[in-house]
């Protein structure tokens, strides 16, 4: 029986390995992590991450050929294939590349541990998103410490999206495997191909050299984020000119050369990877002297920052230029619907912007806990991607913030509502009931374009919806830049 071990039991390691276990009953899969609470949760009824469909997959395999454990060394030692899916955050501390380069501390320590505990040859698979040529560094660590054991390193970046991870893993657009172009490298690539071939059609399993695989992952995230920044940049122009960004992006999407996906204007992109991977790309470009290319990709992040600031400024300027002591309901805190992940969510920046103007916030998200929200609002930028158990938990809480478990409670007596995540349940709220219980004038700021603007205006709300024609009230307020 082939044995697989995956180091890192989070959004990538957990679902990916659960699906491998489901699709390959002949393979034994162990998912390991240094976080005891996280592994305990994987072994309980309350999984540590929310992902539609994940519960059912885990239930089917756990205890049969899928195991979650903190005994990292034992499972690495016994495995034929070791996936490494640890965090690769942006480097926060001072030093070379701080604020841009990927911090490979977690990866390096995993590689050293693999070399230390291994007693048989292994294929080591880079699942984390890493800078180009990381495999080369990892290979050096493994071979210099190998005591004669042979390691083949592969790059197998993950393209799943949170919220649709199980669907994406069941039916991937492609599986990408990069390896050394040597007989041993080819053999290792084939071994990993054989795993995916249990359910992925062969023509969707692409093989490349190591660097192409690593760079492809950064390129995909950069291209996706760039589409969002492009439509968001358009949304600002639509508001200034009276065009409707929904109509513009629909017209654009009908061009078969462009296609319909990732063209919704919003308050900005979040997601754990977009910003960090683009910063990483920028750093690699700079290191290679490609300053114009670096500048081009930097702009994608700048527009995203601009969009988040523009939204917060719009809220303040619409409400007589102050939200001091006003209650603002925040509907949605996760970076997208169907996940509880808040890493780099635009909600953090918008909330911090409003708190900076002394607003009182009442926050409701169906999947994000009070602790998580408080931690996010007190944490420094970039710290979100370091494992929680390795950080001191901030003892401070933001007093002007309350978290509630119901949209109606959040909006009661509020002056304004900010919709920051596109949860389906927000589309079907009883806005008449909400309006009746709010302070007047009552404002809705829709950062995801999910409400029916005309209906809400009819009820009496003053509505701002990203990239849509402004109503008279908003036109009369100071311009937002
Ligand atoms: P995460 O950052 O949520 O968690 C990483 C896990 O690794 C933590 O549970 C941590 O305790 C564990 N860990 C760190 N060092 C360890 C060690 N030495 N031994 C055992 N466990 C260790 O990770 P997430 O979101 O699953 O991402 C993993 C990688 O996959 C990152 O490089 C990310 O960029 C990439 N990725 C993430 C996607 C996402 O949607 N979250 C999608 C595609 C790629």
Q: Using a 6 Å cutoff on CB, does residue 449 contact ligand 1?
A: no
Q: Give the other-Cβ count within 10 Å of 350's Cβ.
A: 25
Contacts of 325 (CB under 8 A, 6+ apart): 358, 359, 360
Name the binding residues for NAD(+). 8-13, 33, 38, 86-90, 128-129, 162, 273-276, 343
Ligand 1 pocket test: which of 9, 12, 72 has the largest number of ligand atoms within 8 Å of its C-beta? 12
SS3 31: strand
Q: Rounded to two decimals, what is the model's pTM?
A: 0.92
What separation in Å is there between the alpha carbon of 439 and the centre of ligand 1? 44
Rounded CA-CA distance 368/364 in Å is 8
Domain locations in the chain as residue ranges: 2-200, 221-476
Its ipTM equals 0.96
User: Is-contact 28 20, C-beta < 8 A?
Assistant: no
What is the model's pLDDT at position 390?
Answer: 45
Q: Using a 6 Å cutoff on CB, does residue 178 contact ligand 1?
A: no
Q: What is the pLDDT along the chain (481 residues), one digit of tens a residue?
A: 899 999 999 999 999 999 999 999 999 999 999 999 999 999 999 999 999 999 999 999 999 999 999 999 999 999 999 999 998 877 776 677 777 777 888 889 999 999 999 999 999 999 988 888 888 888 889 988 778 899 999 999 999 999 999 999 999 999 999 999 999 999 999 999 999 999 999 999 999 999 999 999 999 999 999 999 999 999 999 999 999 999 999 999 999 999 999 999 999 999 778 998 999 999 999 999 999 999 999 999 999 999 999 999 999 999 999 999 999 999 999 999 999 999 999 999 999 999 999 999 999 999 999 999 999 999 776 565 555 444 444 556 788 999 999 999 999 999 999 999 999 999 999 999 999 999 999 999 999 999 999 999 999 999 999 999 988 777 777 666 5
What is the model's pLDDT at position 67?
Answer: 98
Joined together, the tokens standing for residue 419 give: 């919709």
Q: Give the other-Cβ count within 10 Å of 292's Cβ.
A: 7
For the 2-200 domain, the top CATH level (class) is alpha beta
Q: Using a 6 Å cutoff on CB, does residue 415 contact ligand 1?
A: no
Residue nearest to atom 2 of ligand 1 (CA): 87
What separation in Å is there between the alpha carbon of 7 and the centre of ligand 1? 8
Q: Using a 6 Å cutoff on CB, does residue 10 contact ligand 1?
A: yes
Contacts of 319 (CB under 8 A, 6+ apart): 326, 415, 416, 443
Pairing mode, if any, of strands 401-403 and 416-419? unpaired
Q: Using a 6 Å cutoff on CB, does residue 272 contact ligand 1?
A: yes
DSSP 359-376: -EEEEE-TT--HHHHHHH
What separation in Å is there between the alpha carbon of 425 and the centre of ligand 1? 29
The residues assigned a catalytic role are 273
Residue 266 phi, psi (nearest 5): -160, 180
Atom of ligand 1 nearest to the CA of 8: 7
Contacts of 448 (CB under 8 A, 6+ apart): 264, 266, 267, 332, 419, 420, 421, 422, 466
User: CATH number of the domain at 221-476, please?
Assistant: 3.40.50.720
Residue 147, judged by CB atoms within 10 A of its CB (0-12, 13-18, 19+), counts as exposed
Nearest to 153 by CA among 97, 106, 110: 110
Q: Does the fold of domain 221-476 match that of domain 2-200?
A: yes
Q: Using a 6 Å cutoff on CB, does residue 33 contact ligand 1?
A: yes
């Amino acid at each position: 029986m082939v044995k697989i071990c995956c180091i890192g039991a989070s959004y990538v390691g957990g679902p990916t390995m659960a699906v491998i276990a489901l699709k390959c009953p002949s393979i034994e899969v162990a998912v390991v992590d240094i976080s005891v609470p996280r592994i305990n949760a994987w072994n309980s009824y309350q999984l540590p991450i929310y992902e539609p469909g994940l519960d059912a997959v885990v239930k089917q395999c756990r205890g049969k050929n899928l195991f979650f454990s903190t005994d990292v060394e034992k499972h690495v030692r016994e495995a034929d294939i070791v996936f490494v899916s640890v965090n690769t955050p942006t480097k926060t501390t001072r030093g070379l590349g701080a604020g841009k380069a990927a911090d490979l501390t977690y990866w390096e320590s995993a590689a050293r541990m693999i070399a230390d505990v291994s007693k048989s040859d292994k294929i080591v698979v880079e699942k984390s998103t890493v800078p180009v040529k990381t495999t080369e560094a990892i290979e050096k660590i493994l071979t210099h410490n190998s005591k004669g054991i042979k390691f083949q390193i592969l790059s197998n970046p993950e393209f799943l999206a949170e919220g649709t991870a199980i669907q994406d893993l069941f039916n991937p657009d492609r599986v990408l495997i990069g390896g050394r172009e040597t007989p041993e490298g080819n053999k290792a690539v084939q071994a990993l191909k054989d795993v995916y071939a249990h359910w992925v059609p062969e023509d969707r399993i692409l093989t490349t050299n190591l660097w192409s695989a690593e760079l492809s992952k950064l390129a995909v995230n950069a291209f996706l984020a760039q589409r969002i920044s492009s439509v968001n940049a358009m949304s600002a122009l639509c508001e200034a000119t009276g065009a409707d960004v929904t109509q513009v992006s629909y017209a654009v999407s009908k061009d078969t050369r462009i296609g319909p996906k990732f063209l919704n204007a919003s308050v900005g992109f979040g997601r754990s990877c977009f910003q960090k991977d683009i910063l990483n790309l920028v750093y690699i470009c700079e290191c290679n002297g490609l300053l114009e290319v670096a500048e081009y990709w930097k702009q994608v992040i700048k527009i995203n920052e601009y969009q988040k600031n523009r939204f917060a400024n719009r809220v303040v300027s619409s409400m007589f230029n102050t939200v001091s002591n006003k209650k603002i309901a925040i509907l949605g805190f996760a970076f997208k619907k169907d996940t509880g992940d808040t890493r780099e969510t635009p909600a953090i920046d918008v909330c911090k912007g409003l708190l900076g103007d002394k607003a009182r916030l009442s926050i409701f998200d169906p999947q994000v806990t009070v602790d998580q929200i408080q931690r996010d609002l007190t944490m420094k930028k970039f710290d979100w991607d370091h494992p929680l158990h390795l950080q001191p938990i901030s003892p401070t809480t933001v007093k002007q913030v309350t978290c509630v478990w119901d949209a109606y409670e959040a909006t009661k007596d509020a002056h304004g509502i900010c919709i920051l995540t596109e949860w389906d349940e927000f589309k079907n709220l009883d806005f008449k009931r909400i309006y009746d219980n709010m302070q007047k004038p009552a404002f809705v700021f829709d950062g995801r374009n999910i409400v029916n603007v005309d209906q809400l205006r009819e009820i009496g709300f003053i509505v701002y919806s990203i990239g849509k024609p402004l109503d008279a009230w908003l036109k009369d307020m100071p311009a937002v830049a």
